[in-house]
Amino acid sequence: SLEPMLSLYIFEDTIVHYSSNDNSINDTPTSLATASDNDMATSRKGKSYGILFDVETTTPGSVSPPSPSPVTIRGMDLYLVDNVAPPIHYEVWTKEGSWQDDIRLRTTTTTTTGPSHFLSGYHQVSQGMIRSISYEGESDSNHDFVVVSLPEFQDVEIGGGHATRRAFYITLSDDLLLFESYDVDEGESDRGRREAGSAVQSSNGKLQVYYGAAVRAYPMETVDMATDFWDNAGFLGRIWTM
């Protein structure tokens, strides 16, 4: 069950608030942004229903032997296509390890796999309705995107006795989720899972985010694993941690 009021991003009339009714929580969440506004203006972007990606705790260089510090993920913000008024359903799932652990999913079709197989080992940490419209006073005609904070999010522990690497699957009910296309070196033709599994998209010294795969269908029952995964896609948004 969701931790009561531990990490809430309240969505009210398109204004985002952070609040907590637990007076024992004095720490302020910090965020790891995978792209700045400038990056959003210049990076190669696409849109999809969902995205798969990994996050991993990092080890300070002064620590010996290596021991990554534990990190608690408290919430996420998403970059969506702007100016779509109707509410959109979203879901966030996570599991220990990498989303690429089950390589067989890439070569089997939905006749033998489905959500019960694809999401095996995953658990849901957030779901609800969001809107893809600019917040009051923040609209900018130069932007074709909007940042939306997820309204409720169950804490996810990484490291400190838990796995140091976790997979996340974020999906919407419409293809409005923006992702970044990973830039391979000029002349490099192999743009498969190898880059997605090892290329770090963003890091803040405590946590690093890897490039993953965009999912171009919803719901998962309709996904063809062979054609609906777009490799070398990066999550665009912010990850809030403690």
Output the pLDDT for position 190: 47
Q: Is 188 exposed, middle or buried (0-12, 13-18, 19+ CB in 10 A)?
A: exposed
Query: What's this model's pTM, rounded to 2 decimal places?
Result: 0.77
pLDDT tens-place string over residues 88-117: 899 999 999 999 886 555 444 444 444 556
The answer to whether the beta carbons of residues 122 and 128 sit under 8 Å apart is: no
Length of the chain measured in residues: 242
Output the pLDDT for position 237: 93
Output the pLDDT for position 160: 77
Six-digit token string for 53: 């990606």
Output the pLDDT for position 23: 41
Q: Are strands 8-12 and 15-19 parallel, antiparallel or unpaired?
A: antiparallel
Six-digit token string for 40: 């959003």
How do the pLDDT tens digits run along the chain, 242 residues long?
333 322 223 233 232 333 333 444 446 889 999 987 777 777 788 999 999 999 999 865 545 555 678 899 999 999 998 866 688 899 999 999 999 886 555 444 444 444 556 777 899 999 999 887 764 444 444 556 788 889 889 999 998 777 799 999 999 999 999 999 876 554 454 444 445 568 899 999 889 999 999 999 998 778 887 788 888 899 999 999 98
Q: Which of 216, 211, 214 is nearest to 184 (CA)?
A: 211
pLDDT tens-place string over residues 9-20: 323 323 233 333
Six-digit token string for 218: 């919803």
The CB-side HSE value for 85 (13 A sphere, CA atoms) comes to 0
Output the pLDDT for position 239: 96
The answer to whether the beta carbons of residues 67 and 59 sit under 8 Å apart is: yes
∠ CA 101-213-89, nearest 5°, is 105
